[in-house]
Structure 1
Amino acid sequence: MQNGTQLLIGVIATIPWPVRLLFKGIIKCVTLMTLYMSNMWWPPNTVGGLLNKFLFLLLSSLTVFNFLMATFTGAGYLELGWKPKDENDTKFLQYCSVCEGYKAPRSHHCRKCNRCVKKMDHHCPWINNCVGWANHAYFTSFLAFAVIGSIQASIILVGSFYRGIHRQWYLYHGQFQLATVHFGLWSLILCIFSLGLAIGVVIAVGMLLYFQIRAIMRNRTGIEDWILEKANYRREGTSEKFVYPYDLGVKENIFQVLSLTCTPIGDGITWKVRDDCDQYTLTCEQIAQKAEKRARTRVYKIIRPATGSYIPLFSQGFKVCLSPPCTDEPRIKLEVGDTVRVTRWRKHWLFGERESPSSVAINNENTTSKSKSNSISPKRLPRGWFPRRCAVELVQPDDDRGTIQYNEDEEISGSYDQHQESDEHNHVDCQEEKKTK
C-alpha cells in the first residue's frame, strides 16, 4: 500500500498544468449541472428540496474554503539557516545547502518550493503547494468534503436522469408531480457527462482521502512511510527492530493533525514521541540510510546520448516509453562520454547525478579545509532519470564514492552537506547517543 500511495502521487504529479486547469473546469461543470438538475428533480419550494440544495451548497462551499486554506496557508517552511538551540544536536541532523541550515526532525527539502518544509507529506499539484504540518488538516478536509459533495451530486444526477427519461410515462399515468425533469439535447448530454465525472471524482479523490486518513491514523507522512520501509528492510534477518517514534496510538495520532479549527499542533519542529524514542530517532535512521546509499552508488558511462525527454520514443523505442518511472523528477540530457553516479535502478531507467570533471577536486578541497562554516554550499550538479540502455556500468574504487550529492529521499530532491565525511561519523554518534539513553 505504501508503494500504491507513492505511485498515485507520482502519477498525479506528472499531469501537465493544462490538464489540471481542465480538471478544475470539470468540477465547476459538475457543480453547476447538479444545481440545475436539483431545481427540477427536487424543487426548493419544498422543505426537503430546500434542505437538499442547502446541503449541497454547504458542501461545495466547505470544499472551496478548505481548498483555498490548504493552498494559501501552505505546509509551513522551516526558516532559512535554521539550527537547533543546542549546537551538539547538529550531529543528529542533516544539513541543507540550499536553505543553508539544518533540517528539523520530519522536515524535508522540496525541489518544487525550493524550501525545507515542516513535516512534509508531498507536493500537491492541485493546490500548487506542499502538504505538511500547517495545512494537513485543511487538505484532508478538502478531500473529505469533495468526496461527500460528489456523492450527493451523483445521487441528484442519477435521480434527475431517471425521472427525465421516464417523463412521458409519468405524464401518461397522470403522475404530474414526478414529471418535473425535462431534457433538451444538450442538457441530457451534460447530465450524463457530469454524472460520469462525479463518479470519477468519488473514486479518484476517495482513494487520496483513504491514503490521507490512513497516514493520519498512523501519524506517518508519505515520505516517512518510505523511510520506515527502508528501515525495516535494513534489519531483515536480524533480531533488531526499528521503532517508529511518532506512533502514539490511533486516537492520539488523529489529534496530532485534526481539530475543529484545523489549526496546526505545536511548532512543527518539536514532536511528541514514544517513551522508548527521542526527537532524533528518525533522523539518525535517515543518516544511516544515507551512508548505505553511498555504499550502493555505482558509476556509469554514457555510450548513447540521452535527450532528456519524458517520452523518448524516437531515440529509445517503445519499451522505454511504456515503462517510465512514475514521478515528476527531471530527466537529464547526457552526451556520449559523460559519467553518472547512479543511486536508483528501474528495468529501463536509471536515476543518478552527472559527474562534473572538477567534482573530485572540489570535494577534496572542502574535505581538507574542514571549514566550520556551513554557509558555503557545493555546486549542485544535474540529476535525474535517463534510459538504462544509454549507459554501461564502470568499476569504481570505493574511495571515490564521496563526491556525489545525494537526494534526501526517493521522492524529494534534497541537498547534501558539503562535509562529505560526516555521514558515517553522524551514524556512529546516533548509535552512541541511543546507548547512553
Structure 2
Amino acid sequence: MKFLSGFVTFENLHEVRRLCHWGPIIALSVIAICSTMAILDSIIWYWPLDTTGGSINFLMLINWTVLILYNYFNAMFVGPGYIPIGWKPENQVDMQYLQYCRVCQGYKAPRSHHCRKCVMKMDHHCPWINNCCGHMNHAYFTSFLLLAPLGCSHAAIIFIMTMYTQLYERISFGWSTVKIDMSAVRQFQPLMPFSVPAFAATLFALGLALGTTIAVGMLFFIQVGSFPRFAFGISSLHKLFCDAKFKQIFNWRIQTLKHNNLICVGLDQQVQYQVVEDYNGACCPLSKGIQTFFRTPCTEEPRIPLNKGDIILATRGTKWWMYGDKVLSEEEMKAGDRVRGWFPRRCVEKCHYDTAANDSTSNKKVN
C-alpha cells in the first residue's frame, strides 16, 4: 500500500470502491487490451533489442501506459475537493451572493455544486472515473484526455504495421479472389508467431484504439475550448473573473482551500424561471422539438415534470436543456422534499423581476 500511495493519492481506503463501477471497468479494460496488444505486436513487428528505433518505440509504449494510468487513477482517487459541512463565509455580507445547501447545511462557494457533497469548482460527474471532476482533479482529468488519444494513436500505428508486415508475404491475389495463407513460411520469422487468433485480437484492439482516439480526443478539445471563457460543464452559467485561469486548472500542487479562500468573487448562483409550458418528465420528449429530443443530456440525473406556473431556480444548462430546483411550498420544504433535475429550456421563461434584482445587485457591485 505504501508503494501504491506514492503513485496515487488516496483520501481513504473506501475510495478503492470506486473501481467497482461499469465506467472504470470499461475504461481500464480498454487501456489493458490496447497496452497489452501494442506491447506484444511491437515485439513481433519491431523487436526492441535489435535497433535503437525499436527500443525507443518500446519505451514510448511503456511511457504512454504509465502516464495514462497515473493521471486516470489520480483523477479518480484525488477527488474534486469538497466544501466543508456546515461552511459559511466569514464575512456575512457574502451570504447574499451564495446558494444555501440544505443537504450539507452550509453555504456553497461560487461555482460549487452538490453531488453527494458540495464539490468545489465542479465541472461534471464523470462515470468513466466514477467521480466528480472539479478543483483538485481537473488537471489530472484534462491530462488524461490528452494522453489517452496520443497513446492510442501510437498503438493504432503499431497494430496497422504489424498486420501489414505479417500479411504481406501471405496474401495472394487472383482474378476474382484474395487468399490469405497464415501457415505460409515467411522470410524473416518473428520471435512470436502471428496466427489467426493473434490477427483477430490485433484487429479488435485496433478498433478500440481508433474509437478511443476519436471519442476521448473530442472530449479533450471540448475541454480546451472551454478554457478561455472558463465555462465548463456545470459551471457554464457562471463567470469567474481571474487572469490566471490555466494556473487554477493545472494546480499540480494539490492543496486544500482554506475557509476564507472559498469566496473569490460575489455572484448570484441561481436564476429564477417561470414555467410556461407543461412537461411530463420524459427523457427524450419529441413534442418539445427535434433539437430537444436529440440534444437530451447524457447523464444519469433525473428529469422533473413541470406544470404551468411553477417556479424554477436554475443553476446550469445547455442550449436546449436546463437544470435546477423546483420551488416548493413551506409544507413540502418542512417535510424535506426536494425536486431537482433537467427540463427543456423552451418550457420556461426568465422572471422579469428576477432580472431587475440581478441588475440592481450588479449596480451595487460596480458602485
TM-score, normalised relative to structure 1: 0.61
Letter in 2 for 1:298: V
Q: Is the 8 A contact 1:99 1:116 kept in 2?
A: yes
Aligned to 1:280: 265
Aligned to 1:325: 296
Q: Is the 8 A contact 1:33 1:191 kept in 2?
A: yes
Give, in whole Å, the separation in 2 of the partners of 1:430 and 1:33.
58
User: Taking structure 1 as reference, are residues 100 and 38 closer, same or farther at Cα in structure 2, changes over 3 Å only?
Assistant: same
Give, in whole Å, the separation in 1 of the partners of 2:364 and 2:257.
28
Q: Is the 8 A contact 2:325 2:338 kept in 1?
A: yes
Q: Which has the higher contact order (CA 8 A, sep 6+)?
A: 1
Secondary structure of residue in 2 paired with 1:109 = strand
Give, in whole Å, the separation in 2 of the partners of 1:147 and 1:216.
19
Give, in whole Å, the separation in 2 of the partners of 1:266 and 1:352.
28
Q: Is the 8 A contact 1:105 1:269 kept in 2?
A: no
| Alignment partner of 1:379 is 2:336 | yes
Q: Is the 8 A contact 2:231 2:237 kept in 1?
A: no
Give, in whole Å, the separation in 2 of the partners of 1:213 and 1:32.
30
Cα deviation for residue 279 of structure 1 reads 3.5
TM-score, normalised relative to structure 2: 0.71
Cα deviation for residue 213 of structure 1 reads 2.8
Letter in 2 for 1:188: F
Structure 1 residues 75-115: Cα deviation after superposition (integer angstroms, max 9, x where no partner): 000001111111122122221222111111222223xxx21
Q: Is the 8 A contact 1:299 1:342 kept in 2?
A: no
Which of residues 162, 165, 169 in structure 1 aligns to 2:164? 162
Letter in 1 for 2:250: L
> Alpha carbon RMSD of aligned pairs, Å?
4.5
Give, in whole Å, the separation in 2 of the partners of 1:330 and 1:434.
38
Give, in whole Å, the separation in 1 of the partners of 2:111 and 2:319.
31
Secondary structure of residue in 1 paired with 2:118 = strand
Give, in whole Å, the separation in 1 of the partners of 2:321 and 2:358.
32
Which of residues 42, 45, 66 in structure 1 aligns to 2:46? 42
Secondary structure of residue in 2 paired with 1:151 = helix
| Alignment partner of 1:258 is 2:250 | yes
Aligned to 2:88: 83
Cα deviation for residue 37 of structure 1 reads 0.7
Give, in whole Å, the separation in 2 of the partners of 1:204 and 1:136.
19
Of all paired residues, the percent bearing the same amino acid is 32
Q: Is the 8 A contact 1:164 1:182 kept in 2?
A: no
Q: Is the 8 A contact 2:112 2:119 kept in 1?
A: yes
Give, in whole Å, the separation in 1 of the partners of 2:323 and 2:365.
34
Give, in whole Å, the separation in 1 of the partners of 2:264 and 2:203.
53
Cα deviation for residue 54 of structure 1 reads 1.9
Cα deviation for residue 132 of structure 1 reads 0.9
Structure 1 residues 171-226: Cα deviation after superposition (integer angstroms, max 9, x where no partner): xxx99458667532221111111112111111111112222233345444333334
Aligned to 1:184: 195
Aligned pairs for 1:357-372 within 5 A: 359-362=328-331
Which of residues 101, 104, 111 in structure 2 aligns to 1:99? 104
Cα deviation for residue 44 of structure 1 reads 2.4
Aligned to 1:409: none
Aligned pairs for 1:217-256 within 5 A: 217-227=228-238, 245-246=241-242, 248=243, 252-256=244-248
Aligned to 2:222: 211
Q: Is the 8 A contact 1:75 1:131 kept in 2?
A: yes
Structure 1 residues 382-437: Cα deviation after superposition (integer angstroms, max 9, x where no partner): 3445799xxx99xxxxxxx9xxxxxxxxxxxxxxxxxxx999878745532321xx
Give, in whole Å, the separation in 2 of the partners of 1:139 and 1:192.
29
| Alignment partner of 1:25 is 2:15 | no
Secondary structure of residue in 1 paired with 2:125 = strand
Cα deviation for residue 159 of structure 1 reads 1.0
Letter in 1 for 2:132: C
User: Taking structure 1 as reference, are residues 78 and 360 closer, same or farther at Cα in structure 2, changes over 3 Å only?
Assistant: closer
Structure 1 residues 96-150: Cα deviation after superposition (integer angstroms, max 9, x where no partner): 222111111222223xxx2111111111111111111111111122222222211
